[in-house]
Structure 1
Amino acid sequence: MATGRRVSRVASLIKREISQMLLNDIKDDRVGAGMVSVTDVDVSGDLQHAKVFVSIYGTDEARAETMEGLRSATPFVRSELGQRVRLRRTPEVIFLEDRSLERGDRILHLIDQLKPLSSSMDEEDIGAEE
Structure 2
Amino acid sequence: MAREYGRSQRVASEMQKELAAILQRDVKDTRLGFVTINDVELSKDLAVAKVYITVLNGDDAAKLANVKVLNEISPFIRHELAKRMRLRHISELHFYYDHSFDTGMRVAELLHDLEGRQDQSDASDNGKSEDE
The interval holding the TM-score normalised by the smaller chain is 0.7 to 0.9
Q: For structure 1, which runs of at least 5 residues remain unmatched after alignment? A: none
TM alignment of 1:1-130, pairs within 5 A: 4-31=5-32, 34-57=33-56, 58-122=58-122, 124=125, 127=129
Task: Quote the RMSD (CA, aligned, Å).
Answer: 2.4
- Paired letter, 1:63: K
CA contact under 8 A between 1:50 and 1:93: conserved in structure 2? yes
Distance 2:119 2:31 in 1: 46
Preserved CA contact (<8 Å) 1:30 1:68: no
Moved runs in structure 1, 4+ residues, more than 2 A? 59-62, 116-127
> Which deviates further from its counterpart, 117-126 or 6-15?
117-126
Q: Deviations over 1:67-112 (max 9, x none)?
A: 1210111111112222221112111111011121111111111111
Q: How many residues align?
A: 126
Question: Which stretch of the first structure deviates more once superposed, 81-90 or 13-22?
Answer: 81-90
Give aligned-pair identity as a percent: 35
Q: Which moved more, 1:21-30 or 1:111-120?
A: 111-120
Q: CA deviation at 1:120?
A: 4.6
CA separation in 2, counterparts of 1:120 and 1:111?
Answer: 14
Gaps of 5+ in 2: none
Q: Deviations over 1:46-84 (max 9, x none)?
A: 111111111101123322221121011111111222222
